[in-house]
Structure 1
Amino acid sequence: MITANIHEAKTNLSKLLKQVAQGKEVIIAKAGKPVAKLVPHKEELLPRKLGFLKGKIWVSDDFDDEDEEINKLFYEGELFPNEEPVNEKK
């Protein structure tokens, strides 16, 4: 752990922040007494809450109903209707 007085911290802030970025802690003291601590920033991921979107999302009753026209194209349509066959023997 690194300790610096306020004047040193002001003068060497960039250097102290590099130390913090490397995982070290820096104590800033006034008259020899600690007043602040610089520590590396950690992203805190909050746990997900179940049901937090309840009442905010709506899904139509027919959302997963099949569409006859799309099914016909899918099952009966040509894969590449405007393309000539590649391996056709003459």
Structure 2
Amino acid sequence: MSITVKVAEAKTRLSELLALVEAGEEIVIARGNEPVAKLTALDEKARRAAVIEEILKARDSGEIKPVTREEILAWRHEGHKY
């Protein structure tokens, strides 16, 4: 379920709206009768898992080549002045 509020109302009730979002609600912000934005909770754990899954798929498909030990050692010293 989502709640729609106008921009002015969102400005004055932002803390309350964020509490609702944290509780699982979606808030749609409208200018007049036109929706322009949506507030939703961030799920960092799920986002990270999705990124890791994309990387693993790219690696398995050969799109990403394995990194060699030599490359890692070279990166470790990259930018250092000797």
TM-score calculated relative to the size of structure 1: 0.55
Query: Which structure features the higher share of strand residues?
Result: 2
Superposed, which structure 2 residues align to 1:46-61 within 5 Å? 46=51, 47=53, 48-49=55-56, 50=59, 54-57=66-69
Distance (Å, rounded) in 2 between the aligned partners of 1:21 and 1:35: 20
Structure 1 outlier segments of 4+, above 3 Å:
50-53
Query: Which structure features the higher share of helix residues?
Result: 2
Q: Which structure 1 segments of 5+ residues have no match? A: 59-90
TM-score calculated relative to the size of structure 2: 0.59
Residue aligned with 1:37, SS? strand
- Report the identity percentage: 36
Task: Give the aligned CA root-mean-square deviation in angstroms.
Answer: 2.0
Q: Which structure 2 segments of 5+ residues have no match? A: 71-82
Aligned residue pairs total 58
Give the number of the structure whose alpha-carbon radius of gyration is greater. 1
Distance (Å, rounded) in 2 between the aligned partners of 1:27 and 1:38: 6
